[in-house]
Amino acid sequence: VNSHPIECTKQAIRSAIAKSRVPEDRLHAENTLEWLLKLNGDADDALRIAALGHDIDRAVESLRVRKTDFSGFDAFKAAHARNSALILKDIMQTCGMDPALQDDICLLVSRHETGGDERSDLLKDADSLSFFQVNLPYYAARNDWDTTERRSQWGYQRLSLGARELISDFSYRNGRLNALLARIISQG
Ligand SMILES: [Fe+2]
């Protein structure tokens, strides 16, 4: 049992994500945490840890869920969220985290794609904002254009109205992505 379970957990999350094969995973984890704190500077420890670890599933090659194993994108995303929560549970137990805090963090992470309560909604917004700020150019480089468009529309739909205003300031080096973002915003 670690004497600082919260620090132990953050460190274990960061070291797991550092091993990810996906180049933007580390940036996205830190950037989601930054957005969380921009949206609410008083965000509690559970939310901060959930922000950092919400996508940990992607970084753990032996345990991660794969899009090709699911019939639809939402089913894949639900499994991804559940799996990230399970992986975090294991880390938190090892770090000796208070069980109630573990449960809270697991619930937040399992809801990060869909929201459903005020704190999960905040995490979802931070995650989506970070997708547009950090992930989209990497995503576009790895996927075909149709897939990138669909993913961006899906990402825009899950943003709150307040967050939609924030992304209208985003700009990319890739002009095609700027045009895509402008189109998505204008279509609402
Ligand atoms: Fe994410």
Give pLDDT tens digits for 106-150. 999 999 999 999 999 999 999 999 999 999 999 999 999 999 999
| Calpha distance 37→31 (Å, rounded) | 10
Is residue 128 within 8 A of residue 163, CB to CB? The reply is: yes
- R_g of the chain, CA atoms, integer Å: 16
Instruction: Return the structure tokens found at 39.
Output: 């949206």
Residue-averaged pLDDT of the chain: 95
163 CA distance to ligand 1 middle (Å): 15
96 CA distance to ligand 1 middle (Å): 25
| Calpha distance 45→13 (Å, rounded) | 14
129 CA distance to ligand 1 middle (Å): 9
Is residue 47 within 8 A of residue 62, CB to CB? The reply is: no
28 CA distance to ligand 1 middle (Å): 7
145 CA distance to ligand 1 middle (Å): 20
167 CA distance to ligand 1 middle (Å): 16
Contacts of 157-163 with CB under 8 Å at 24 or more apart are 158/113, 158/115, 158/124, 158/128, 159/125, 159/128, 159/129, 160/121, 160/125, 162/125, 163/39, 163/125, 163/128, 163/129
| Calpha distance 177→183 (Å, rounded) | 10
153 CA distance to ligand 1 middle (Å): 15
CB atoms within 5 A of ion ligand 1 belong to 55, 127
Is residue 130 within 8 A of residue 28, CB to CB? The reply is: yes
pTM for the whole thing? 0.94
95 CA distance to ligand 1 middle (Å): 23
81 CA distance to ligand 1 middle (Å): 9
User: How confident is the model over 59-88, as pLDDT tens digits?
Assistant: 988 888 898 889 888 899 999 999 999 999
170 CA distance to ligand 1 middle (Å): 18
Q: What is the pLDDT of residue 2?
A: 61
